[in-house]
């Protein structure tokens, strides 16, 4: 049970503070001579206090922990019972019994739906005014105004409590959404990392298998590279899970050179990335990683060119494949999301000048 609901269960304590206004009823009843009016009035007063406090405690449990079956009928039943107990005090306490209407009106504003509580409270105000003016010997001590003020105060308390409860639920939903977004981010990063690394591992494993019968030393070298790649991928996965993983543009250029060489794709790569602003480096690094991964996996290309400038990065190949897979792949979807977050434009598709595929990210200046 959350803290807000736990506090609401003890709402009867707040209501009990205002019970001292019933001392008028008590003094009037105790001032009467012994008789059934006095005894019935005292018993009704005690029952009124107990039922009123019980109603407040019950409403505190259901109002902010979700409605329960038949709770509205029970609320109406208790309110009518309170009216009956107030009426039983009239023979002994006289007009002082109208003090009970204040508590009934306040309880109605807390427990009933607003569409029912407002007319009911208004009816109590009218009843208090009519009885004070029409019953002989009764005095008007502002009971109608007291009922009105009590109802308004209770209605304000109820609205504030409901607003606070909605705010608590909204904050809880935001926290859950943040967790879901973080999980999606980690999942996307893991996909990007493992997609690239496993692609290179697969290519090198195939190469090592072919070299076993031709050149054992080269096969061993490829297997050693496989071990290093596997360790690096494991390290990247651990870092990503901990939220501390970074990606560097020079590192991705070097990784692209190695991956393309392993796939027997001739490459033209930039020698340095010093001209690229810091704000663009991470996005460009992800672009090179995703595009080169798609070249190795799907393009069947023989040549790949990576063009890098301060405001853009472009990867083109001369392969016949890759268009459908690369456009619909999860990796490029993640790249598109990253580009949109930074206000960049991602272009993915066939080359216009010659056969092949092109991936380009351009950041507005």
For every residue of 133-160, DSSP letters joined together read: HHSTT----SHHHHHHHHHHHHHHHHHH
Q: Is residue 104 part of a domain?
A: yes
Ordered strands of the 357-362 beta sheet: 266-268, 303-309, 312-317, 357-362, 345-350
Range(s) of the domain holding residue 160: 3-173
Residues 166 and 287 placed together within one structural domain of the fold? no
Which three-class secondary structure state does DSSP give residue 357? strand
pLDDT tens-digit profile of 301-312? 899 999 999 899
213 is a domain residue: no
Q: Do both 143 and 11 map to the same domain? A: yes
Its pTM stands at: 0.48
Residues 7 and 117 in one domain: yes
Among 117, 143, 173, which residue terminates a domain? 173
Query: Looking at the domain assignment, is residue 196 inside a domain?
Result: no
List all residues 6 or more positions away from 82 whose beta carbon is below 8 Å from its beta carbon: 48, 51, 52, 55, 100, 103, 104, 107
Q: Identify whether residues 298 and 149 lie together within a single domain.
A: no
158 and 13 together in one domain: yes
Using one digit for the tens of pLDDT, what is the confidence trace for 223-268? 887 777 777 667 666 656 555 555 778 788 888 888 898 888 999 9
CATH number at residue 286: 3.30.565.10
Asked, for residue 185, whether it belongs to a domain, the answer is: no
- Is the residue at 85 inside a domain? yes
Within this chain, do residues 166 and 255 fall inside the same structural domain, yes or no?
no
Q: From CA 147, how far away is CA 128, in angstroms rounded?
A: 8
Residue 332 tokens, joined: 């490029």
CA distances from 362 to 90, 211, 273, 300, 365 (A): 84, 41, 16, 26, 9
Residue 62 in any domain: the answer is: yes
pLDDT of residue 53: 83
- Say if residue 56 is in the same domain as residue 158: yes
DSSP 306: E
Statement to judge: residues 49 and 152 lie in one domain: yes
DSSP helix/strand/coil, 284: helix
Report pLDDT for 309: 92
Q: Does 179 reside within a domain?
A: no
Domains in the chain, number:
2
13, 103: one domain: yes
The verdict on 156 and 14 lying in the same domain is yes
Mark whether 10 and 103 lie in a shared domain: yes
In tens digits, the chain (365 residues) has pLDDT values of: 444 444 445 555 666 667 777 888 788 888 888 788 888 988 988 888 888 888 877 776 655 455 555 678 888 898 999 999 989 988 888 888 888 888 898 888 888 888 888 999 999 999 888 888 888 878 778 888 888 888 898 888 888 877 887 888 888 888 888 778 777 766 776 666 666 667 777 887 888 888 887 888 888 888 887 777 777 667 666 656 555 555 778 788 888 888 898 888 999 998 877 678 878 888 999 899 889 988 888 888 899 999 999 899 999 999 886 544 444 445 677 888 889 888 999 999 888 878 889 999 999 87
Looking at the structure, do residues 22 and 160 belong to the same domain, yes or no? yes
- Please report the pLDDT score of residue 142 as a whole number: 83
Q: Which of 173, 194, 221 is the last residue of a domain?
A: 173
The residue among 130, 157, 173 that closes a domain is: 173
Is 47 within the bounds of a domain? yes
* 3-class secondary structure, 245: coil
Q: What is the pLDDT of residue 196?
A: 65
């Amino acid at each position: 049970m959350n803290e807000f609901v736990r506090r609401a269960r003890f709402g009867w304590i707040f209501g009990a503070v205002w019970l001292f206004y019933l001392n008028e009823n008590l003094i009037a009843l105790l001032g009467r001579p012994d008789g059934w009016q006095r005894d019935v009035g005292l018993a009704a007063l005690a029952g009124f206090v107990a039922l009123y406090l019980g109603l407040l405690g019950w409403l505190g449990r259901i109002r902010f922990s979700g409605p329960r079956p038949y709770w509205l009928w029970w609320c109406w039943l208790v309110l009518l019972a309170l009216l009956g107990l107030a009426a039983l005090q009239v023979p002994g306490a006289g007009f002082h019994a109208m003090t009970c209407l204040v508590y009934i009106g306040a309880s109605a504003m807390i427990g009933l739906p607003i569409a029912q509580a407002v007319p009911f409270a208004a009816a109590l105000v009218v009843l208090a005014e009519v009885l004070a003016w029409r019953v002989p010997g009764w005095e008007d001590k502002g009971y109608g105004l007291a009922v009105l003020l009590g109802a308004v105060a209770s209605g304000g308390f109820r609205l504030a409590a409901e607003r606070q409860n909605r705010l608590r639920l909204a904050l809880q939903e935001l926290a859950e959404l943040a967790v879901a977004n973080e999980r999606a981010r980690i999942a996307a990063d893991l996909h990007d990392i493992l997609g690239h690394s496993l692609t290179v591992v697969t290519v090198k494993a195939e190469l090592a298998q072919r070299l076993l019968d031709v050149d054992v030393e080269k096969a061993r070298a490829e297997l050693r590279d496989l071990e290093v790649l596997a360790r690096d991928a494991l390290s990247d996965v651990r870092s990503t899970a901990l939220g501390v993983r970074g990606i560097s543009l020079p590192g991705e250029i070097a990784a692209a050179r190695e991956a393309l060489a392993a796939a027997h794709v001739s490459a033209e790569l930039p020698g340095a990335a010093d001209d690229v602003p810091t704000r663009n480096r991470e996005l460009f690094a992800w672009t090179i990683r995703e595009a080169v991964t798609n070249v190795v996996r799907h393009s069947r290309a023989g040549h790949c060119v990576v063009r890098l400038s301060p405001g853009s990065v472009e990867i083109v190949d001369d392969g016949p494949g890759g268009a459908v897979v690369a456009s619909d792949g999860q990796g490029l979807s993640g790249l598109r999301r990253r580009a949109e977050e930074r206000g960049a434009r991602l272009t993915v598709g066939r080359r216009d000048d010659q056969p092949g595929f092109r991936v380009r990210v351009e950041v507005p200046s």
